[in-house]
Amino acid sequence: MENDKEVQEQVKESAEDAGIMPHKNGLTIDEPTEGDHEIHHPVEDYAHFSKPDFVDLIKELTKENDFRKVDLILKEIRPLFDEIRQSEKNAALEKFKAEGGNPDDFDYRLDEWDHAFDASLKLIRDRRNQYYKSLEEAKTENLRKKNELLERLRALVDGEDNAQSFHIFKELQQEWRQVGPVPMAQIKTLWANYNALVDRYYDYRNIYFELKELDRKKNLDAKLELCVKAEQLSSKERIKDAVRELNELHNEFKHIGPVPKEEQEHVWQRFKAASDAVYAKRDAFLDELQQQLKGNLEVKMQIGEEIQAFVTFTSDRIKDWNQKTQEILELQKRWDGVGGVPRSKSKEANKKFWSAFKTFFHNKNQFFKKLDEERDKNLKIKQELVARAIELKSSADWAKTSNDLKALQLQWKEVGPVPEKYRDKIFKEFKEACDYFFDQRRGTKEKADLEQDENLKQKEVIIEEILQATQAGDGNLEKLQELQARFNEIGFVPKSAMASVKSRFSDAVSRYIESINGLNAAERDQVTLEIQLSSLKNDPQGDRKLFHKEQNLRKQIQKAENDLSTLQNNLEFFGRSKNSTKMKEEFTEKIKVATESLNLLKKQLKLLKSM
């Protein structure tokens, strides 16, 4: 019930603002009212306006001459604009304090929109004041004119009759009608004096009684014509137009003048009945408006509930934010499509919807702000990678630079996206630098492959020479050393053939050494080792392999020395035994073999260190 009462009061207030006055049962032609009344559409919803929007709106209002309309709109927008201004001021103060400022030293400066809004507001006030001032001056002037007309009418009434009196009387009435509005406080007194003088004129001028009656009959015809027009208004579809025209008819009815007394009540009742029909239609409109406002409120509150889900929405994907943006904009369309609501509930409904709306877009802006910061950071990282790639692209150290660029490419993939406007440009720069290097390496590698194929053929020829010399049985160490030197001087062969050609060369050399006459086993081992060590020395990784070979020989020597020491200790043990002759002989032989093996290992180590 309390809700319905609020809505009814809102409807009544909206109707009065729109110019649809409540039915005045006591209205008579001798109680005039000033001004026409119209139905205005509900005030627009400005809760989503920004400061520039408000400035554009108030600039348009500076050109408006309907100050009642201007005041209604200002009543809506000023609190909203002040709220935005205060919010910005509070944010500026918090930032000032966060930067170490003393709140007492804080001085908030208005921006261009604040100044533009205040300037337009002052202009409206000045124009309104000037308008009402001129209106009051005009009313004062009209009061002076009507008082002057009353004096002239009074002089006519109190004067002597003559042939021109009635003509002057009608002219005075016409002048009276043409004078505009007067101050409200003087209206009743003026009309009372005017009607009293008119009645006195007709009552005191018996000689012109017939003219008086004729004039009243003419007034009757004019008022009956107005009744017909008023009766036709109830069929108009637009109640706004009907009420406006009815107000105009009331104004005319008031100014026409008296009718014959026997017709006075009848004609007034007819005119009043026609007015009541329009008022009834207006009341039906207001009832419908009341229900519409309540229905609109229910719809907007439902939309307000739906939009709450967007307040807590969060995601790290742009696609999700864009999809949610489309959904909330659809809700906004539905909201905008709903009509007005009771003014007492308007602020609550607007706050519920627009607060959630603004929160969503604030969160979205924060997401994209953070995203932009990350993309700017990624841009700097990728710019550094581009600079590094450009430094490396002309390098001829193919293996190392190739690995470095591949590492840069992996880093590039791990770095996130950059701002859209730089994405294609910076990727193109990075790709061109990498492509330049790998194109150069590819050309060099193709050339190197051809050289390695030729090297392989040359090494195979030397292997074949070694095998032929072996079969012929005319090998010697000098020839072998010459063939090995030629073999080592030849450069790299294809990687796929490297192990094979090395193994074949080693087998060929072993056969060649076996075929040389006059070499015992130790000498053959010595030569074989020298050949192996020479090959290792010419290997690309020779230093590392020689180092490992040396470490391996030292381990073997240490093990051989340990084994020899153990055998010697055991031999001393058997030397103190009477029945161990056979065992002593076996250990003596083992010690001999171990000593020879140890000496051979030491020679190999000495040879290796001399390389």
Tell me the DSSP string of 528-571: HHHHHHHHHHHSTTHHHHHHHHHHHHHHHHHHHHHHHHHHHHHH
- Asked whether the beta carbons of 267 and 224 are under 8 A apart, the reply is yes
Cβ neighbourhood burial of 359 (10 Å; 0-12, 13-18, 19+) = middle
List all residues 6 or more positions away from 393 whose beta carbon is below 8 Å from its beta carbon.
433, 434, 436, 437, 440
Spell out the residues 6+ positions from residue 396 whose beta carbon is closer than 8 angstroms to its own. Answer: 444
What are the contacts of 472-481 at 24+ separation with CB within 8 A?
473/515, 475/512, 475/513, 475/515, 475/516, 476/516, 477/516, 477/527, 480/509, 480/512, 480/513, 480/516, 480/527, 480/531
pLDDT for 255? 85
**Helix, strand and coil percent figures for the chain, each rounded to 5:** 80, 0, 20
Which residue matches tokens 């005030």?
43
pLDDT of residue 6: 42
Q: Which helix (H) or strand (E) holds 488?
A: helix 477-489
270 touches 323 (CB < 8 A)? no
Can you give the length of the chain in residues?
A: 611
φ/ψ (deg, to 5) at 418: -110, 170
Give per-10-residue mean pLDDT for the chain (611 aa).
41 38 34 39 70 90 89 90 89 86 85 92 91 89 92 86 80 90 89 87 67 81 90 86 89 85 89 90 84 87 89 88 90 88 85 90 88 89 90 84 88 88 89 85 70 80 80 72 77 80 79 68 63 58 59 72 71 59 67 68 60 56
Q: Indicate the residue type of 517.
A: N
pLDDT value of position 101: 84
pTM of this structure: 0.39
- For residue 447, give Cα distances in angstroms to 136, 493, 499: 105, 13, 22
